[in-house]
């Protein structure tokens, strides 16, 4: 775990690791992440040469393929500045798994170094930058789904919730059995689709039972899963990435 | 549907499908798991103290494993000194042969057994039947399950898949003079009555072992019912069967493990009985077994031991917390796995015991959500081990330490990852692919089917994030 | 090679091939130097469904006699410990069977021994645990087979916690059978419903004596 020793005035530049799911499915969340950081006076470096963190093949056991992608990330994000990731699971991949995945190669030290300066976006906003925000939106009730990697690998559940609680007009709740997996699990959702669907069904029920107006999560995988099922069921519960929601509520694009 | 098999991969999909379709079963497990999780949580109110205790549990087990061969020799030596006879079994068959031989040698006729996962693992009951013996399970849950010709569905609560109505029906049908009742006290009373007679008449008692202390040559058994004490005290011969990883260095290691095991397992501060056996009855003692035997079981453990990462598997103290917290186990129940050890620890142990060719598919039934690793009292990194075994399952490395490695590799899947890797290590190509995907988003086939059966199709955004960022840069400069 | 040697040599090879990562050094013996917390012992035992009475040691026989009258307890099984002789000598003239010949008395014990009475050699205060050692004075089944078990334990024989108890046994050696008892026998194997008296005693009565 990083020591949070960097105090915010000292940090002027950070990398953003965009993640492939945000790139293709939720670009607005990526943009919101950049804007949230820039508004705090931070320069965001977004290396164009990025693709994915390598988690899909890694979780399927294809280490060689995952390693090839991981090496690329380690090389491209080599400057000694924090790496901000708007996803718990991709951040977890960088922080918790790169060091062992690359342990036996020439990049072992670099991978450990990268792991030590990797942050999940909301963790960084809350714990390092210690942002203070004003709410600009209408009263709304949201239900927050914290992904398993954000909760367990990264330990950042509180950060997302704490940021939301700064917003006066936002009533925050969590679904019953919030700590239970939504059933996404990457390729698990396809390989073990029946089990995955059973888990997602329960999660959708719990999310809907809160009576919230909107569903938020800081992990695109979970969003695609829960939102995908809700839409298939014809439920009306708009889903959004946490970063996007935070950006809009706190002034965002309104001049 | 509820038998153990050496080929759990076979029909795994069918068992999953059946289990998910069984509303009553899902209800049973959901209720039981919620109950056990709540009870455990109540026992560990201070998260920091819990983490310290888990550190200690892991360190105790690691320390024991680091000295495993030496501790086993010490244990053997101390046991012999105490009058406990020690036998070494390389395989399940060896263990069964040894036990059958011991029973024959004392001319045993009536055999009772306390709850033991090691004897389930070696299929002892079947082996004894084949040799002409019957062995009565005496743990209430095991008794119920055995009477119904089923197998346990949980390592701590064997009959967790059954509700009281079905047990009431079973007792009324199978035990003479037993009226139908759903009163749990009366049902337990019935079991008590039947099993008491069996205990009084038994000449051989078989049990497992929770921990064996090398320092003193002591076998520790923890339980609530007293059937373990009955099985190890009343019959003239006691045979204990133990996986060889269960040895610990000294008595001083016990307290922390005991502070972890019952709380993690059933949410109890302590079990009713902690039964520590350091020898057969002495001449001046009036009861207790005249012979005590300890069967040390390898059955693949020495192989697991040889890999530094997989060795953590052997830290397990069989508390069952990992399955209690596993969202997949909660929805499938234990039988769907087809294995003696179900749930996360089963997904790690079984492929290593049976080989990845027969049990590798088990590792797929996991979303890597990490709930199991978070609660394991001895900090076994279960998700990492499951992922590692997935890797060994598709690994082409001939030096892989796991049996049946590479046998889960499918050409099509390997090709997909090869192509995936080709694209993702070439950013310009990746950008081209995402550009096509975002532009053609309305014409893309709604794949894969496994996803869209339950969810709306995945639809890319109209511009990728990277494209947005490039435009932003362009506008700025 | 014998199976034993093959197993051990496999383990030794395995260890040599991939030595363990360093593990933390064993912790210093965590023994409580505080006095045993008697109230905690009572609370824990009661929570485990045992009945607990605290009194001076001289008072338990009279108390037990009146309890026996209330509950119509008549037939007692004892060993050859001090508690047995005290009870046998008690003025209420209880009907007592001394359990000394396992082979001869075993079936009677199982069929018709209603109450076992014995002295616990010690206890563990923080978990509400009674310590029973096998030995020449008391058969181990006395605390197991009769449906009611009455135990006398002295406060000055209690350990504060299990760690201290283990230090004691590590120093003084283990009896052939050391039993920790923390309540009556129980099971939740049927639909998570707690039932007492699964195989061992349904009731556990504890006299905690000064
Ligand atoms: S792996 Fe850990 S949680 Fe699972 S049974 Fe073993 S000790 Fe308990």
> Do B9 and B360 touch, CB atoms closer than 8 A?
yes
- DSSP 8-class letter at B281: P
Give Cα B418 distance to the centre of its chain: 35
End-to-end C-alpha distance for chain B, whole angstroms: 67
* Measured distance CA(A131)–CA(A38) in Å, rounded: 12
- DSSP 8-class letter at C89: T
Q: Is B114 helix (H, G, I), strand (E, B) or coil?
A: coil
The neighbours of chain B, by the rule of 3 or more Cβ pairs under 8 Å, are A, C
* Measured distance CA(B320)–CA(B343) in Å, rounded: 8
Could you tell me if B292 and B423 lie in one domain? no
Could you tell me if B298 and B415 lie in one domain? no
Does residue B381 fall inside a structural domain? no
- Token representation of residue A61: 């056991």
Helix axes A27-39, B465-476, angle to 10 degrees: 40
* Measured distance CA(A148)–CA(B368) in Å, rounded: 9
A188 touches B: beta carbon within 8 Å: yes
The residue written with tokens 């869209």 in the block is B452
Q: Is A2 helix (H, G, I), strand (E, B) or coil?
A: coil
- State the nearest Cα–Cα gap between C117 and chain B, in angstroms: 16
Q: B450 vs A190: CB contact, 8 Å cut-off?
A: yes
- Token representation of residue A84: 């901000």
Burial of C14 (0-12, 13-18, 19+ CB in 10 A): buried
Q: Which of B302, B320, B351 is where one domain is finished?
A: B302
Residues of chain B contacting residue A62, judged by C-beta atoms under 8 Å apart: 391, 394, 414, 417, 421
pTM of the model as a whole: 0.95
pLDDT at C27: 58
> Do A54 and A87 touch, CB atoms closer than 8 A?
no
Q: Is B371 helix (H, G, I), strand (E, B) or coil?
A: helix
Pick from A50, A92, A46, A90: which is nearest to A71 by CA?
Answer: A50
Residues paired with A239 in a beta bridge: A215
* Measured distance CA(B254)–CA(B252) in Å, rounded: 5
Among A80-84, B237-241, C8-12, C137-141, which is the least confidently predicted range? C137-141
Ligand 1: atom nearest CA of B313 is 1
- State the nearest Cα–Cα gap between B60 and chain C, in angstroms: 8
The answer for residues whose C-beta is within 8 angstroms of residue B348's C-beta and 6 or more apart is: B313, B380, B382, B385, B386, B389
C128 conformational bin, left if phi > 0, alpha if psi -120 to 50, beta if neither: left
pLDDT at C22: 67
B window 439-458, beta carbon within 8 A of A: 448, 450-451, 453-458
pLDDT at B477: 76
pLDDT at C190: 93
Residue B126 sits in a domain whose CATH number is 3.40.50.10420
Question: Does the pLDDT at position A3 exceed 60?
Answer: no
- Give the Cα-Cα-Cα angle B175, B126, B189 (nearest 5 degrees): 25
* Measured distance CA(B231)–CA(B198) in Å, rounded: 10
- Give Cα separations from A238 to A200, A203, A223, A245 (angstroms): 16, 15, 10, 11
- DSSP 8-class letter at A93: I
The overall average pLDDT reported for chain C is 92
pLDDT over 70 percentage in chain A: 95
Indicate which residue's Cα is closest to atom 8 of ligand 1: B319
Q: Is B68 near ligand 1, meaning CB less than 6 Å away? A: no
**How does strand C75-78 pair with strand B273-277?**
unpaired
Q: Is B345 near ligand 1, meaning CB less than 6 Å away? A: yes
Q: For residues B453, B456, B462 and B465, what is the CA-based torsion angle, rounded to 10 degrees?
A: -80
Residues paired with A215 in a beta bridge: A143, A239
Instruction: Tell me how crowded residue B114 is: count the other CB atoms within 10 A of its CB.
Output: 27
Give Cα B299 distance to the centre of its chain: 15
Does residue B12 fall inside a structural domain? no
* Measured distance CA(B472)–CA(C8) in Å, rounded: 66
| Residue C19 pLDDT grade (very low, low, confident, very high; cuts 50, 70, 90) | confident
Does residue B332 fall inside a structural domain? no
- State the nearest Cα–Cα gap between B400 and chain C, in angstroms: 14
The residue written with tokens 């009855």 in the block is B281
Burial of B188 (0-12, 13-18, 19+ CB in 10 A): buried
pLDDT at C34: 81
Spell out a b/e string for C36-64, using b for 16 or more CB atoms within 10 Å of the CB, else e: bbeeebbebbeebbbebbbeebeebbeeb
Q: Tens digit of pLDDT per residue, chain B (477 long)?
A: 346 778 899 999 999 999 999 998 999 899 999 999 999 999 999 999 999 999 999 999 999 999 999 999 999 999 999 999 999 999 999 999 999 999 999 999 999 999 999 999 999 999 999 999 999 999 999 999 999 999 999 999 999 999 999 999 999 999 999 999 999 999 999 999 999 999 999 999 999 999 999 999 999 999 999 999 999 999 999 999 999 999 999 999 999 999 999 999 999 999 999 999 999 999 999 899 999 999 999 999 999 999 999 999 999 999 999 999 999 999 999 999 999 999 999 999 999 999 999 999 999 999 999 999 999 999 999 999 999 999 999 999 999 999 999 999 999 999 999 999 999 999 999 999 999 999 988 887 766 788 999 999 988 999 999 999 999 988 887
Ligand 1 center to residue B158 CA distance, Å? 16
Spell out a b/e string for B415-442, using b for 16 or more CB atoms within 10 Å of the CB, else e: ebbeebbebbbebeebbebbeebbeeee
Pick from C142, C139, C164: which is nearest to C151 by CA?
Answer: C142
* Measured distance CA(B8)–CA(B15) in Å, rounded: 10
Burial of A113 (0-12, 13-18, 19+ CB in 10 A): middle
* Interface predicted TM-score (ipTM) of this complex, two decimals: 0.95
* Measured distance CA(C25)–CA(A84) in Å, rounded: 37
Could you tell me if B297 and B415 lie in one domain? no
| Residue A7 pLDDT grade (very low, low, confident, very high; cuts 50, 70, 90) | low
The residue written with tokens 């519960």 in the block is A237
Q: What's the domain count of chain B?
A: 2
* Measured distance CA(B110)–CA(B199) in Å, rounded: 9
Burial of C68 (0-12, 13-18, 19+ CB in 10 A): middle
Ligand 1 center to residue B54 CA distance, Å? 12
> Do C198 and B140 touch, CB atoms closer than 8 A?
yes
- State the nearest Cα–Cα gap between C57 and chain B, in angstroms: 25
Does residue B123 fall inside a structural domain? yes
pLDDT at A255: 42
Detail the DSSP E strand segments found in B18-143.
84-89, 111-113, 135-137
Longest dimension (CA), chain B: 97
Helices then strands, each counted (H, E), chain B: 23, 10
pLDDT at B2: 44
Q: B288 vs C140: CB contact, 8 Å cut-off?
A: yes
Question: Does the pLDDT at position C100 exceed 90?
Answer: no
Residues of chain A contacting residue B368, judged by C-beta atoms under 8 Å apart: 59, 148, 185-186, 188
Could you tell me if B73 and B192 lie in one domain? yes
- Token representation of residue B284: 């001046």
Pick from B372, B376, B78: which is nearest to B248 by CA?
Answer: B78
Give the chain B residue whose CA is nearest to the CA of C29.
B252
Sheet of A13-16, strand order: A43-45, A13-16, A83-85, A118-120
* Measured distance CA(A197)–CA(A225) in Å, rounded: 9
* Measured distance CA(B242)–CA(B239) in Å, rounded: 10
**How does strand C195-196 pair with strand A214-217?**
unpaired
> Do B363 and B388 touch, CB atoms closer than 8 A?
no
Residues paired with A85 in a beta bridge: A120
Give Cα B70 distance to the centre of its chain: 26
> Do B68 and B245 touch, CB atoms closer than 8 A?
yes
Q: A69 vs B453: CB contact, 8 Å cut-off?
A: no
Does residue B362 fall inside a structural domain? no
pLDDT at C122: 96
Ligand 1: atom nearest CA of B343 is 4
- DSSP 8-class letter at C21: P
Ligand 1: atom nearest CA of B375 is 3
Q: Is B117 near ligand 1, meaning CB less than 6 Å away? A: no
The answer for residues whose C-beta is within 8 angstroms of residue C132's C-beta and 6 or more apart is: C118, C120, C121, C138, C140, C143, C151, C178, C179, C180, C181
> Do A3 and A204 touch, CB atoms closer than 8 A?
no
Does residue B329 fall inside a structural domain? no
Domain boundaries defined on chain C: 35-185+196-209
Q: Is B348 near ligand 1, meaning CB less than 6 Å away? A: no
> Do B362 and B9 touch, CB atoms closer than 8 A?
yes
For chain C, the C-alpha Rg in angstroms (whole number) is 21
> Do B371 and B327 touch, CB atoms closer than 8 A?
yes
B368 conformational bin, left if phi > 0, alpha if psi -120 to 50, beta if neither: left
For residue C206, which phi and psi values (nearest 5 degrees)?
Answer: -115, 125
Quote the domain boundaries for residue B158: 67-302
Does residue B458 fall inside a structural domain? yes
**Is CATH 3.40.50.10420 what the domain over C35-185+196-209 is classified as, yes or no?**
yes
* Measured distance CA(B402)–CA(B395) in Å, rounded: 10
Ligand 1 center to residue B117 CA distance, Å? 13
């Amino acid at each position: 775990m990083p020591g949070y020793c960097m105090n915010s005035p000292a940090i002027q530049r950070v990398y953003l690791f965009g993640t492939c799911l945000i790139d293709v499915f939720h670009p607005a969340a990526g943009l919101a992440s950049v804007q949230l950081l820039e508004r705090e006076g931070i320069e965001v470096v977004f290396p164009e040469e990025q693709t994915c963190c390598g988690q899909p093949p890694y979780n399927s056991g294809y280490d060689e393929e995952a390693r090839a992608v991981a090496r690329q990330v380690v090389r491209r994000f080599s400057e000694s500045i924090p790496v901000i990731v708007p996803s718990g699971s991709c951040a977890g991949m960088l922080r918790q798994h790169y060091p062992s995945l690359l342990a036996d190669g020439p990049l072992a030290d670099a991978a450990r170094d990268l792991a030590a300066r990797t942050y999940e976006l909301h963790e960084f906003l809350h714990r390092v930058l210690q942002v203070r925000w004003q709410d600009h939106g209408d009263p709304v009730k949201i239900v927050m789904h914290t992904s398993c990697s954000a909760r367990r690998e990264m330990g950042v559940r509180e950060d997302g919730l704490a940021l939301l609680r700064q917003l006066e007009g936002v009533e925050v709740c969590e679904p019953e059995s919030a700590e239970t997996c939504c059933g996404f699990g990457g390729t698990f959702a396809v390989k073990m689709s029946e089990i995955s669907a059973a888990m997602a069904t329960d999660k959708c029920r719990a999310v809907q039972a809160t009576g919230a107006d909107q569903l938020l999560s800081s992990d695109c995988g979970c969003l695609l899963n829960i939102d995908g099922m809700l839409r298939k069921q014809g439920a009306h519960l708009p889903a959004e990435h946490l970063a996007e929601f935070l950006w809009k509520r706190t002034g965002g694009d309104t001049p | 549907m509820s038998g153990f098999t050496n080929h759990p991969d076979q029909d795994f999909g069918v068992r999953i499908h059946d289990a998910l379709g069984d509303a009553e079963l899902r209800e049973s497990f959901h209720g039981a798991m919620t109950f056990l999780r709540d009870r455990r949580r109540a026992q560990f109110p201070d998260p920091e103290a819990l983490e310290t205790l888990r550190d200690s549990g892991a360190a105790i087990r690691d320390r024991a494993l680091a000295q495993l061969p030496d501790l086993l020799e010490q244990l053997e030596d101390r046991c012999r000194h105490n009058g406990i006879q020690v036998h070494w079994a390389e395989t399940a068959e060896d263990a069964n042969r040894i036990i059958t031989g011991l029973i024959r040698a004392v001319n045993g006729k009536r055999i009772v057994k306390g709850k033991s996962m090691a004897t389930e693992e070696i299929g002892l009951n079947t082996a004894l039947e084949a040799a002409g013996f019957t062995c009565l399970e005496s743990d209430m849950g095991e008794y119920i399950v055995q009477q119904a010709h089923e197998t346990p569905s949980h390592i701590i609560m064997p009959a967790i898949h059954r509700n009281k109505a079905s047990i009431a029906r079973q007792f009324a049908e199978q035990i003479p003079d037993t009226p139908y009742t759903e009163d749990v006290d009366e049902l337990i009373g019935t079991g008590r009555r039947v099993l008491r007679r069996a205990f009084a008449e038994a000449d051989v008692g078989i049990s497992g072992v929770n921990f064996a202390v090398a320092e003193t040559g002591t076998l520790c058994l923890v339980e609530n019912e007293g059937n373990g004490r009955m099985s190890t005290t009343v019959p003239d011969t006691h045979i204990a069967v133990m996986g060889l990883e269960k040895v610990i260095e000294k008595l001083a290691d016990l307290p922390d493990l005991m502070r972890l095991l019952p709380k993690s397992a059933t949410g109890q501060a302590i079990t009713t009985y902690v039964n520590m056996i350091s020898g057969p009855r002495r001449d001046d003692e009036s009861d207790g077994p005249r012979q005590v035997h300890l069967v040390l079981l390898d059955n693949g453990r020495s192989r697991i031991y040889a890999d530094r990462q997989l060795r953590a598997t052997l830290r397990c103290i069989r508390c069952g917390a990992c399955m209690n917290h596993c969202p997949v186990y909660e929805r499938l129940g234990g039988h769907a796995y087809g294995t003696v050890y179900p749930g996360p620890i089963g997904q790690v142990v079984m492929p290593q015991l049976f080989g990845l060719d027969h049990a590798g598919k088990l590792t797929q039934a996991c979303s890597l959500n990490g709930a199991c690793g978070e609660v394991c009292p001895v900090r076994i990194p279960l998700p990492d081990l499951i992922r590692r075994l997935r890797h060994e399952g598709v690994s082409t490395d001939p030096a892989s330490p796991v049996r049946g490695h590479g046998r889960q590799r499918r050409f099509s899947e390997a090709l997909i990852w090869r192509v995936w890797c080709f694209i993702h290590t070439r950013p310009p190509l990746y950008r081209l692919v995402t550009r096509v995907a975002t532009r053609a988003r309305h014409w893309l086939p709604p794949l894969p089917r496994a996803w869209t059966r339950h969810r709306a199709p995945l639809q890319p955004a109209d511009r990728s994030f990277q494209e947005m960022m490039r435009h932003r840069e362009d506008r700025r400069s | 090679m014998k199976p034993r040697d093959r197993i051990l040599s496999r383990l030794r090879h395995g260890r040599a091939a991939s030595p363990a990562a360093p593990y933390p050094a064993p912790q210093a013996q965590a023994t409580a130097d505080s006095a045993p917390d008697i109230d905690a012992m009572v609370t824990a035992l009661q929570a485990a469904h045992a009945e607990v009475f605290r009194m001076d040691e001289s008072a338990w026989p009279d108390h037990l006699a009146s309890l026996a009258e209330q509950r119509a307890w008549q037939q007692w099984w004892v060993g050859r410990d001090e508690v047995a002789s005290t009870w046998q000598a008690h003025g209420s003239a209880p009907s007592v069977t001394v359990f000394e010949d396992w082979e001869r008395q075993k079936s009677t014990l199982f069929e018709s021994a209603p109450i076992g009475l014995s002295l616990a050699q010690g206890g563990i205060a923080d978990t509400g645990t009674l310590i029973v050692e096998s030995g020449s004075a008391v058969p181990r089944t006395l605390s197991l087979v009769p449906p009611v078990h009455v135990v006398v334990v002295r406060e000055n024989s209690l350990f504060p916690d299990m760690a201290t108890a283990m230090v004691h046994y590590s120093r003084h050696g283990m009896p052939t059978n050391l039993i920790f008892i923390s309540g009556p026998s129980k099971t939740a194997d049927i639909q998570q419903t707690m039932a007492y008296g699964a195989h061992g005693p349904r009731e556990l009565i504890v006299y905690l004596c000064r």
